[in-house]
Amino acid sequence: MSEEYSRKLRQRMVDEQLRSREIYDPLTLGAMSRVPRERFVRSGDESRAYDDHAMGIGYGQTISQPYMVALMTQCLELTGAEKVLEVGTGSGYQAAVLAEIGGRVYTIERVRELSERAVRLLGELGYQNVHFRVGDGTLGWPEEGPFDRVIVTAGAPAVPDSLTEQLASPGILVIPVGEEYVQSLLQIKKDDAGTLRRRHVCDCVFVKLIGEEGWRVE
């Protein structure tokens, strides 16, 4: 795929899938228009990279649909100066979008092969503000906390206490919570006093968040 064709597809995605569905944050739209999504899908799937749906990336994981990536990013209310924790590196696409906006990104993935692939890819694309870890994302990254923002890209049965504890005051956590096949996307804000306030954003479907404070491995 040529760079010019990729740029046209990204702009079409922004106009038809994002702006038309109330994605309005300029930092989010700008990042989505710059990250080459076709680099993050499996070989042979490049022509469908900008379609309006999630896609498998192997190991039982997916790259979320463009709209969901943009919606979750917008819900973080970023300025570009934040320290962000991402739970669930996956393909690395969401991390790249966050890195485009700025700040520092710390991303955790439990599948080593996916993490290593993301490290290589984001390095090739020139991102220097992303830090990677292989491990249980439900426990967060305590030695690097607190984080101004936390984003979880897998569905949890409940909000992990470790993540709310590592969220700065004030701070914002975005996470899908619910049953195995349907969740509620929550925006959770922590105020200066440490009080948590939840807002339901929309219904959604994500793969399971596996870990000590998530779903257990079957």
Question: Which residues are identified as catalytic?
Answer: 64
User: What SS3 state is found at 207?
Assistant: coil
Sign (positive/negative) of CA torsion 136, 103, 36, 76?
positive
User: What SS3 state is found at 149?
Assistant: strand
The DSSP letter of residue 66 is H
- DSSP β-ladder status, 83-87 and 55-58: unpaired
Which residue, among 165, 175, 174, has the nearest Cα to 214 in the 3D structure? 175
The residue assigned the tokens 């220097």 is 128
Please give the single-letter amino acid code of residue 98: L
Q: Quote the CA–CA distance of 129 and 23 in Å, as a whole number.
A: 25
The residue assigned the tokens 């943009």 is 70
Scored b (16 or more CB within 10 A) or e, 109-138 reads bbbeebbebbbebbeebebebbebbbebbb
Sign (positive/negative) of CA torsion 52, 111, 150, 179?
positive
What DSSP element (H or E) covers 84? strand 83-87
